[in-house]
Amino acid sequence: MSFNEAFKAIADPNRRKILSLLKKGDLTAGEIAEHFDMQKPSVSHHLKILKQADLVEDRRVGQHIYYSLNTTVFQDLMSWFYDILQKEGDES
């Protein structure tokens, strides 16, 4: 079910920015929030949507919650694009 959820999740530019930030390494919720003008609860909401779409994972370390990319679903999304770009009848 998370294929559609993932497409919806990446539709928001703030969430895409979060994913780009995480590309460079894991970050805590607070560190992520520092990169935005939004309030922290809003960032937390976006993180929740990314988590539900299986695009990120979280783990608690003391007071902090670290977020990291989960690349497995990205593969699925890319496959959809790849399939669209295949020409008709191209069996390769």
Q: Which residues bind DNA (CB under 7 A)?
A: 8, 11-12, 14, 28-31, 33, 37-49, 58, 60, 62-65
32 binds a second copy (CB under 8 A): no
Q: Which residue has the tokens 């988590």?
A: 51
Q: Are 19 and 69 in contact (CB under 8 A)?
A: yes
Among 8, 40, 59, 64, binds a second copy (CB under 8 A): 8
Q: Quick one: how far is CA 51 from the chain centroid?
A: 7
DSSP 87: P
Among 35, 51, 65, 77, binds a second copy (CB under 8 A): 77
